[in-house]
């Protein structure tokens, strides 16, 4: 693997479009953007590229199975709270509120945790998989509900240091080179 492969999972099509516009033609890697072709074809091209960047929204948060070196980084832009504009959702929130409970604590947060864990699950699909999860939402560190979301994740090493992440990939490349030379 020459470079880490990375899908970036967005919570909105607008943010995905902004990122795609910024990145288009500026990366030394192939860029694969949801909506430019069928999902299956896009995923297959991403798998085959070996060093691509994949931008996706909700349909890429679950049911995407890319194993091994074909995927080594997952970036998540924001905590995946559901849209508050859905009338069915608003009705459910009103019922929860009428019963004396917090719609956020009873519905919004548990749903976001499930979706978040599904997004994180894109990274580790097999016991041999390794990778880096990049979480871009500062609320994960600054709020009580952010801590709840992080606590719901499987145990993993955490770092804020880009140097540690760089070392992780350097070590991974050295390990893979050693395995390849032993196989010959």
pLDDT confidence bin for 167, thresholds 50/70/90? confident
Task: Compute φ and ψ for 132, nearest 5 degrees.
Answer: -120, 130
Of 73, 65, 83, 104, nearest in space to 9 by CA:
73
Higher pLDDT, 184 or 159: 159
CA distance 146 to 149: 5
DSSP string, 88-104: HHHHHHHHHHHTTS-HI
Cα 112 to the chain's mean position, in Å? 13
Higher pLDDT, 183 or 90: 90
Verdict on whether the full-model pTM lies above 0.85: no
Q: Is 36 helix (H, G, I), strand (E, B) or coil?
A: coil
* Domains recognised in the chain with CATH numbers: 6-82+115-178 (3.40.50.300)
pLDDT digits (tens, 9 = 90+) for 114-127: 999 988 888 887 78
DSSP string, 136-178: --THHHHSHHHHHHHHTSPP------HHHHHHHHHHHHHHHHH
Q: Is the pLDDT of residue 83 over 80?
A: yes
pLDDT confidence bin for 178, thresholds 50/70/90? very low
**Taking the alpha carbons of 10, 16, 18, 20 in that order, is the dihedral positive or negative?**
positive
Higher pLDDT, 140 or 125: 140
The average pLDDT across 160-173 equals: 81
């Amino acid at each position: 693997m020459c470079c880490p492969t990375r899908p970036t999972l967005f919570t909105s099509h607008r943010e995905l479009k902004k990122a795609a516009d910024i990145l288009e033609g500026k990366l030394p890697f192939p860029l694969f953007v949801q909506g430019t072709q069928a999902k299956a074809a896009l995923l297959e091209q991403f798998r085959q590229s070996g060093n691509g960047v994949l931008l996706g929204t909700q349909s890429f948060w679950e049911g995407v199975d890319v194993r091994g070196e074909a995927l080594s980084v997952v970036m998540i832009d924001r905590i995946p709270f559901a849209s508050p504009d859905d009338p069915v959702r608003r009705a459910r929130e009103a019922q929860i509120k009428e019963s004396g409970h917090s719609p956020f604590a009873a519905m919004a947060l548990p749903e976001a945790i499930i979706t978040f864990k599904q997004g994180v699950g894109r990274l580790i699909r097999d016991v041999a998989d390794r990778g880096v999860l990049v979480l871009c939402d500062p609320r994960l560190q600054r709020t009580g509900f952010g801590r709840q979301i992080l606590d719901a994740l499987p145990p993993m090493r955490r770092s804020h240091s880009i140097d540690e992440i760089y070392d992780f990939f350097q070590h991974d490349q050295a390990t893979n080179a050693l395995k390849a030379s032993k196989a010959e």
